[in-house]
Structure 1
Amino acid sequence: MNFFKTFKHDTWVKPYVKQYKGLLISVLILGFLTVFSATALMFTAGYTIDKAATHPYNILLIYVPIILTRGFGIGRPVFKYIERLRSHNWVLKITSDLRTRLYKTLESDASFFNERHKTGDIMGLLSEDINHLQDLYLRTVFPTVIAYIVAIIGSLALGVFNPSFGFFVLLLCVIEIVIVPLVSVSIESARRERQKALKSDLYTKLTDNVLGVDDWVISGREKDFKDLSAKTISELDSSKNKSKAFRRYRDFILQVLFTGIVVVFIIFTNLKMTNGQEQANFVAALVLAVLQLSDTFVPVSQGFEEWPQYRDSIERLNTVKPVDQNLPEQVELAPEDFNGIELNHVNFEYASDSPILIKDFSQKITKGEKLALLGPSGIGKTTILQLILGDLVPQSGEIKVNDLNVQQIQEKRETIFSVLNQNPFLFNTTVMNNVRLGNEDKSDAEVKQALARVGLKDLIDSLPDKYNTLVGENGSRFSGGEQERIALARILLQDAPVVLLDEPTVGLDPITENDLLETFFDVLQDKTIIWVTHHLQGVKHVDHVVFVNDEKIEMQGDPRDLYKTNAHFKELYEMDQGLTSES
């Protein structure tokens, strides 16, 4: 019942089972033929030996069994091989579709990623849950269904000779492949659940600790870093050892039960197949055939035992749902037609207890304008950029690009907006590939030109592999300022009319920061720039400054005019530049 309840509202596994049902049926048929060939091989081999021992008067009497033995001997590995190919093909098709769907779902929800999912949970989804669904079929569903088919057909065939023995064998089979597996899963269920929880906890802890490893080292707590997950790993190992011990005892019991089935067949054959020499030849053959079924029946309990892990994976996948964006009818806006952005009385808050609140924010940004958005940390500057992009939707008010609501251009928004933040992600591939990510249709010459414009030509030419230099994990081959320049080259290649700069120079030394800002505003001089920053370094490059504080715009205007007319702005600017009012 638990099994059917899990799949009742499932939207991740069932659709693909139906989609590839023809392949699934062929896998089950091939699995049955594999078992049939194995048992038939043992039967014909036993019959041939027994028949030959009775000195048949004509060699032809054992010629047919010899041919059948060869046929079933060839058939068993052939059917097994094809079944493996088909079953793995079926599973890989499903898991491929599942992974594609999961990636697309997470991608569609990227702006809310940190709010709805922990990184460790996503690692668990990708590395554990999808793999568990693969094992669900290969280790549980396929072996169990095949074992049930074999048990039913074998019991019915035996029942033709003697209904009582047929029923008794069926009863033993039910104990072997139904009762013991159910008892096994009930005993191991809690332990498996705990192991799953411990693994999930390890993913989350390790993700946290690896991302913060520099702080552990700087604080001189390397030993604490190493020992942090030791307790969890120890508990996980202990639990796994208990599971292994349980499996050993359970498998022993299963072998004892299977021995009971073999004894029943020995009794049956001696009572029913010794009326003549011809029947006696079947005695050893039938018992040998039954012995082969051990490999079919015993693994069922192992598959059942792992069901809690599979159930949890299915339930977790079904909690991952794409965000219903409810976008209006989309309009394609050509980059050359862009003429401005307008925010009209925008109000936004994440939740009633959230410290970030955008209240009645209005602003008009014309084509080519350079605007700096300033204010203390946590006031909502980055949130305003997300509203402009369309990642967030205001509770009231409107954000327009030209005369269109920004939600109307989401499908092709990359042609209008490009973004550079304080931590641009560089993939562990070549410099050329990282820059070309901005526009895959650009030529090598255009990529090199973009890198030259951001001041990296001499640096890259000095490297042994030049433009084919690997940037390292997250750009570790290059300094912070160089990483920003590579990301800026990517933006140049994208060539969108609006560039959103989200504190791209945070953490850089003043000289590097100043050089980088000079480069930004030089190479992007023909773009509309909205620049979020927390201080006034480089503010001379912009046409308009908006200073947000305490849920409202405190001051705004041309920075040169503000310096002359606004005492507060002048004071902030001089403090930021390290100047005194007397100087």
Structure 2
Amino acid sequence: MNFFKTFKHDTWVKPYIKQYKGLLITALLLGLLTSFCAAALMFTSGYTIDKAATHPINILLIYIPILMTRAFGIGRPVFKYLERLKSHNWVLRVTSDLRTRLYKTLESDASFFSEYHKTGDIMGLLSEDISHLQNLYLRTIFPTVISYLLTIIASIALGIFNPSFGFFVFLLLFIEVFLVPLFSVSIESARRSYQKSVKSDLYVQLTDNIMGVDDWVISGRKDDFKKLTSQNIQNLNQSKNKSKAFRRNRDFGLQLIFAAIVICFLIFTNLTMTNNQVQANFVSAVVLAIFPLSDTIIPVSQGFEEWPQYRDSIERLNTIKPIPNNLPKQVTLDPKDFESISVDNITFEYDSNSPILIKNFTQKIKKGEKLALLGPSGIGKTTILQLILGDLSPQQGQISINDLDISQIQENRENIFSVLNQKPFLFNTTLMNNVRLGNEHKSDAEVKKALERVGLKPLIESLPEKYDTIVGENGSRFSGGEQERIALARILLQDAPIVLLDEPTVGLDPITENDLLETFFDVLKDKTIIWVTHHLQGITHVDHVVFMNSDAIEMEGSPEKLYQTNKHFKDLYQMDQGY
């Protein structure tokens, strides 16, 4: 019931079974032929040995079984190899489609990633759930279908020869391929679910620990850091050991049942196939043919036992839904045609419990102007940037570029907007590759020119690998200010008319911050800039300042005018400058 309930509304497994059904059927048939060849090999070998012992009057009576033995001996590994090729080809196609689909699903709401998903959970999706679906096919679906087909075929074949014995063997095989697997599921279901939850917690803890390791070390709690996951790991190992013990005992029981089937065949063949010499030659052949089938039948219980974690993965993947695309008809705006941004009386809040409330916010930013948004943390400055980008939609009001609503240019917004935030991500590849991310069609000379404009040429030229220097994981090879300059070079290469700066100098020392701001506003002098900042360092570079508080705009105007007419602004500026 749980099996059918899981697949009733599934959209991550069933569609691909239908899509690649031809390849799936081929893999199953090859698996069936592999088992047939294994049984036939033992059958012809047993017959050949018995027949040779009776001194046949014609060598052909031995030669033909020998040829068949060789044929089945070759056929078994060949069919097994082809079955592996086809089944893995099928699985790799499906999992490739699944990974692509997962990426597209998560990419569609990448701006809200941290709101809807934990990083550790996504690691679990990628490393566990997709792999679980791969194992679902290879370790559960394929072996189960093949064993069921063998059980039906063998029972029917024996039933034709002797209905009572055929039915009796069917009951024993039914225990092997159905009852024991169901028993395994019932025993291991809770245990597997527990192991899954512990692993998920470990992924989340791993993410937190890696990102926060410096804080643990600085605080002098290295021992606590080492012990942080030890209890979870210990509990996981204990649970796994119990699973291993159960698996050993279950497989031993399955072997005993299979031994009972072999004994039944020995008794049956001796009672019914020893009336004459011709029949007696088939006794060992029939019994030996049973043994290879254990390799197909016994693993079914292992596949069933793992079903709970596969089910959990299927249900988990089915909860990942893309945000519906409710965008209006898209318009391609030429960056050269950009004239202004209009933010008209927008109101926005995440929910009634959120501390962020933007109410009746209005601004008009013309081409080439530089706007600074100031205010304490948590009042919605970054949220305004997200609204301007179109990642969020206001509950009231409108944001437009020229005469187009921001929602109308989302498909090609990278041509209009560049973004530089507090911690730009640098990939563990060369400087050239990191900068070229801004525009992959730019030449090496243009990439180097961008790096020169942001002031990195002397540093890069001094490095042994120069422009082919690997930046390290998350840019660790370079300082915070240098990382921002590399990201700025990306923006220059992207060459969008609007640049959004989200506190890019936070955490830097005053001298580095001042030098970096000088560079920003120098190389971006022909761009329209909206700069979110928390203090007044470098404020003279902008044309217009908007100082926000938790209720509304407290003051706004040019820095020069505010300094002359607004005592609060003047006090803040002087305090920030150290006067």
Q: State if a TM-score over 0.5 links the two structures.
A: yes
Q: Report the Cα distance in structure 2 between the residues aligned to 1:536 and 1:325, rounded to whole angstroms.
A: 39
2:436 corresponds to 1:436: yes
Q: Report the Cα distance in structure 1 between the residues aligned to 2:164 and 2:145, rounded to whole angstroms.
A: 25
**Post-superposition CA distance 1:20-51 (Å, at most 9, x none):** 01000000000000000000000000000000
Q: What is the match of residue 4 of structure 2?
A: 4
Q: Report the Cα distance in structure 2 between the residues aligned to 1:291 and 1:16, rounded to whole angstroms.
A: 35
Q: What is the match of residue 478 of structure 1?
A: 478
What is the CA-CA distance between 1:527 and the residue it aligns to? Answer: 0.2
Q: Report the Cα distance in structure 2 between the residues aligned to 1:135 and 1:58, rounded to whole angstroms.
A: 51
Moved more, 548-557 or 467-476: 548-557
2:49 corresponds to 1:49: yes
What TM-score, normalized to structure 2? 1.00
TM alignment of 1:364-513, pairs within 5 A: 364-513=364-513
Q: Secondary structure at the match of 1:441?
A: coil
Matched pairs, number: 579
Q: Report the Cα distance in structure 2 between the residues aligned to 1:463 and 1:209, rounded to whole angstroms.
A: 32
What is the CA-CA distance between 1:273 and the residue it aligns to? Answer: 0.9
What is the CA-CA distance between 1:474 and the residue it aligns to? Answer: 0.2
Q: What is the match of residue 199 of structure 1?
A: 199
**Post-superposition CA distance 1:90-119 (Å, at most 9, x none):** 000000000011111111111111111111
Q: What is the match of residue 280 of structure 1?
A: 280
What is the CA-CA distance between 1:392 and the residue it aligns to? Answer: 0.3
The percent identity for this pair of structures is: 77
Q: What is the match of residue 249 of structure 2?
A: 249
What is the CA-CA distance between 1:264 and the residue it aligns to? Answer: 1.2
Q: Report the Cα distance in structure 2 between the residues aligned to 1:325 and 1:463, rounded to whole angstroms.
A: 47
Letter of the aligned partner of 1:51 in structure 2? K
**Post-superposition CA distance 1:487-512 (Å, at most 9, x none):** 00000000000000000000000000
**Post-superposition CA distance 1:406-429 (Å, at most 9, x none):** 000000000000000010000000
Q: What is the match of residue 560 of structure 2?
A: 560
What is the CA-CA distance between 1:325 and the residue it aligns to? Answer: 3.0
Moved more, 546-555 or 194-203: 546-555
Q: Report the Cα distance in structure 2 between the residues aligned to 1:16 and 1:141, rounded to whole angstroms.
A: 13
What is the CA-CA distance between 1:275 and the residue it aligns to? Answer: 1.4
Letter of the aligned partner of 1:570 in structure 2? K
Q: Report the Cα distance in structure 1 between the residues aligned to 2:319 and 2:449, rounded to whole angstroms.
A: 46
2:115 corresponds to 1:84: no
Q: Report the Cα distance in structure 2 between the residues aligned to 1:14 and 1:304, rounded to whole angstroms.
A: 18
What is the CA-CA distance between 1:263 and the residue it aligns to? Answer: 1.1
Letter of the aligned partner of 2:101 in structure 1? R
What is the CA-CA distance between 1:551 and the residue it aligns to? Answer: 2.4
Q: Report the Cα distance in structure 2 between the residues aligned to 1:396 and 1:318, rounded to whole angstroms.
A: 33
**Post-superposition CA distance 1:71-96 (Å, at most 9, x none):** 00000000000000110010000000
Q: Report the Cα distance in structure 2 between the residues aligned to 1:559 and 1:15, rounded to whole angstroms.
A: 60
Long gaps (5+) in structure 2: none
Q: What is the match of residue 356 of structure 1?
A: 356
Letter of the aligned partner of 2:537 in structure 1? Q
Q: What is the match of residue 73 of structure 1?
A: 73
Letter of the aligned partner of 1:179 in structure 2? L
Q: What is the match of residue 94 of structure 2?
A: 94
What is the CA-CA distance between 1:62 and the residue it aligns to? Answer: 1.2
Q: What is the match of residue 318 of structure 2?
A: 318
Q: Report the Cα distance in structure 2 between the residues aligned to 1:161 and 1:170, rounded to whole angstroms.
A: 14
Q: What is the match of residue 572 of structure 1?
A: 572
Q: Secondary structure at the match of 2:28?
A: helix
What is the CA-CA distance between 1:13 and the residue it aligns to? Answer: 1.2
Letter of the aligned partner of 1:470 in structure 2? I
2:234 corresponds to 1:230: no
Q: Secondary structure at the match of 1:212?
A: helix
Q: What is the match of residue 261 of structure 1?
A: 261
Q: Report the Cα distance in structure 2 between the residues aligned to 1:93 and 1:63, rounded to whole angstroms.
A: 45
Q: Report the Cα distance in structure 2 between the residues aligned to 1:423 and 1:343, rounded to whole angstroms.
A: 27
Q: Report the Cα distance in structure 2 between the residues aligned to 1:356 and 1:186, rounded to whole angstroms.
A: 49
**Post-superposition CA distance 1:244-267 (Å, at most 9, x none):** 000011011100100111111111
Q: What is the match of residue 299 of structure 1?
A: 299
**Post-superposition CA distance 1:346-376 (Å, at most 9, x none):** 0000010100010000000000000000001
Q: Secondary structure at the match of 1:400?
A: strand
Q: Report the Cα distance in structure 2 between the residues aligned to 1:160 and 1:566, rounded to whole angstroms.
A: 102
Q: What is the match of residue 215 of structure 2?
A: 215
Q: What is the match of residue 516 of structure 1?
A: 516
Letter of the aligned partner of 1:128 in structure 2? E
Q: What is the match of residue 61 of structure 1?
A: 61
Moved more, 267-276 or 414-423: 267-276
Moved more, 99-108 or 72-81: 99-108
Q: Report the Cα distance in structure 2 between the residues aligned to 1:338 and 1:301, rounded to whole angstroms.
A: 65
Q: Report the Cα distance in structure 1 between the residues aligned to 2:108 and 2:358, rounded to whole angstroms.
A: 24
2:152 corresponds to 1:119: no
What TM-score, normalized to structure 1? 0.99
What is the CA-CA distance between 1:550 and the residue it aligns to? Answer: 2.1
Q: Report the Cα distance in structure 2 between the residues aligned to 1:337 and 1:14, rounded to whole angstroms.
A: 48
TM alignment of 1:340-355, pairs within 5 A: 340-355=340-355
What is the CA-CA distance between 1:183 and the residue it aligns to? Answer: 0.5
Q: Report the Cα distance in structure 1 between the residues aligned to 2:263 and 2:54, rounded to whole angstroms.
A: 24
Q: Report the Cα distance in structure 1 between the residues aligned to 2:216 and 2:262, rounded to whole angstroms.
A: 62
Q: Report the Cα distance in structure 1 between the residues aligned to 2:73 and 2:2, rounded to whole angstroms.
A: 40
**Post-superposition CA distance 1:142-171 (Å, at most 9, x none):** 001100001110111011110000000000
Q: Secondary structure at the match of 1:257?
A: helix
Q: Report the Cα distance in structure 1 between the residues aligned to 2:149 and 2:63, rounded to whole angstroms.
A: 31
Q: Secondary structure at the match of 2:281?
A: helix
Letter of the aligned partner of 2:248 in structure 1? R
What is the CA-CA distance between 1:400 and the residue it aligns to? Answer: 0.3
Q: Report the Cα distance in structure 1 between the residues aligned to 2:76 and 2:291, rounded to whole angstroms.
A: 16
Q: What is the match of residue 176 of structure 1?
A: 176
What is the CA-CA distance between 1:180 and the residue it aligns to? Answer: 0.4
Q: Report the Cα distance in structure 1 between the residues aligned to 2:12 and 2:563, rounded to whole angstroms.
A: 60
Q: Report the Cα distance in structure 1 between the residues aligned to 2:284 and 2:39, rounded to whole angstroms.
A: 13
Letter of the aligned partner of 2:391 in structure 1? D
**Post-superposition CA distance 1:56-83 (Å, at most 9, x none):** 0110111111110000000000000000
**Post-superposition CA distance 1:275-299 (Å, at most 9, x none):** 1111111000000000111111110
Moved more, 568-577 or 421-430: 568-577
**Post-superposition CA distance 1:393-442 (Å, at most 9, x none):** 00111000010000000000000000000100000000000000000000
Moved more, 366-375 or 259-268: 259-268
- Provide the aligned C-alpha RMSD in A: 0.5
**Post-superposition CA distance 1:450-482 (Å, at most 9, x none):** 000000001000000000000000000000000
Long gaps (5+) in structure 1: none
4+ runs of 1 displaced by more than 6 Å? none
Q: Secondary structure at the match of 2:426?
A: coil
Q: Report the Cα distance in structure 2 between the residues aligned to 1:515 and 1:354, rounded to whole angstroms.
A: 36
Q: Report the Cα distance in structure 2 between the residues aligned to 1:112 and 1:272, rounded to whole angstroms.
A: 73
Q: Secondary structure at the match of 2:282?
A: helix
